Amino acid sequence: MTATVSNFHYGAVTPIAAYLMACLGAALGLRCTTRSLRRPHRRARWLALGAVSIGCGIWTMHFIAMIGFSVQGALVSYDTSKTLLSLAVAIAFVAVGVFLVGYRGGSPLNLGIAGTVTGLGVAAMHYLGMAAIHTNGGLHYDALTVSLSVVIAVAAATAALWAAVSIHSLWSSLGASLVMGVAVTGMHYTGMAAVSVHLTGGTAASQSSTDLLSFLLAMLASPLAVLLIAAVIVMFDPDMMLGDDTWDGDGARDRVTPAPYGAGAGTDLPVAQQQPQRYTSW
């Protein structure tokens, strides 16, 4: 018997929350990548933080959305090992794409390779997370819809990586993250549209959602904490609110210090010959 499946058990709460998490991860990833390009001596650190932020954002989006997943007449539970493995897959594949564009640039070929790897990783995370589901029935997928979800994942990943190396101003990054949130969340719900559940065991009179909700919230606690820490690091970085600054090859910003008032009146050096004052931050 084919069961009735819903992805909106709690109404609009879960898709909206999932979208916001996808946007947060994308925004943090974009800002971290921008810093990595401006500070080559700290590039690996910023790229790693960006990859973790994007990966955690995508994974958190998925499982917040899955809070709203229900199967009529069936109990739903998750395998802990596969659930955590899907998080590791998301971060690892995103890291490959982020480091490729971070170190090799945003050429069309490099973007294509990095976007494909990252997109396939996002799709693998999604379907591995779905494989973690236990219910008294079997999950079946429509091949065409699954293929469409993978295409969306690759396109979204490529666009995100392009934005990471091409968009550097704060407000442009925030706008790009909103668009990326739509793409990533759209990929999730496209993948969920491919799912059907064929019940094989006895039907449950009512589904107890308390244990499931507790499990998912426990799984979400650590990635949410990581996103919070990443947000604090980015927000307290001195460069956070700066716009189109000029950075030298060592990642330090040059700032001209004017001559003291009254010192050497009429003999001040031209601006081009004044010594810059430098500072760096992590």
Q: Report yes or no on 34 lying in a domain.
A: yes
Q: Report yes or no on 282 lying in a domain.
A: no
Confidence band, pLDDT 50/70/90 cuts, at residue 208: low
Domain that holds residue 25: 5-235
Query: Cα separations (Å) of 142 from 122, 195, 196?
Result: 18, 7, 8
What pLDDT is recorded for position 174? Answer: 85
What pLDDT is recorded for position 91? Answer: 95
What pLDDT is recorded for position 210? Answer: 75
Q: Given a cut of 50, is residue 245 above it in pLDDT?
A: no
What is the DSSP-derived secondary structure letter of residue 246? -
Q: Kindly report, residue by residue over 127-156, the tens digit of the pLDDT.
A: 999 999 988 888 899 999 999 999 999 999
The closest of 36, 71, 30 to 53, measured between CA atoms, is 30
Tell me the pLDDT of the chain averaged across its residues.
Answer: 82
**Interatomic CA distance for residues 240 and 234, integer angstroms:** 7
What pLDDT is recorded for position 172? Answer: 83
The angle formed by the CA atoms of residues 33, 91 and 76, to the nearest 5 degrees, is 140
**Interatomic CA distance for residues 151 and 276, integer angstroms:** 49
Domain count of the chain? 1
Q: Kindly report, residue by residue over 71-107, the tens digit of the pLDDT.
A: 887 888 899 999 999 999 999 999 999 999 999 988 9
> In angstroms, how far is the first alpha carbon of the chain from the final one?
58
**Interatomic CA distance for residues 32 and 83, integer angstroms:** 26
Q: Which amino acid is at 12?
A: A
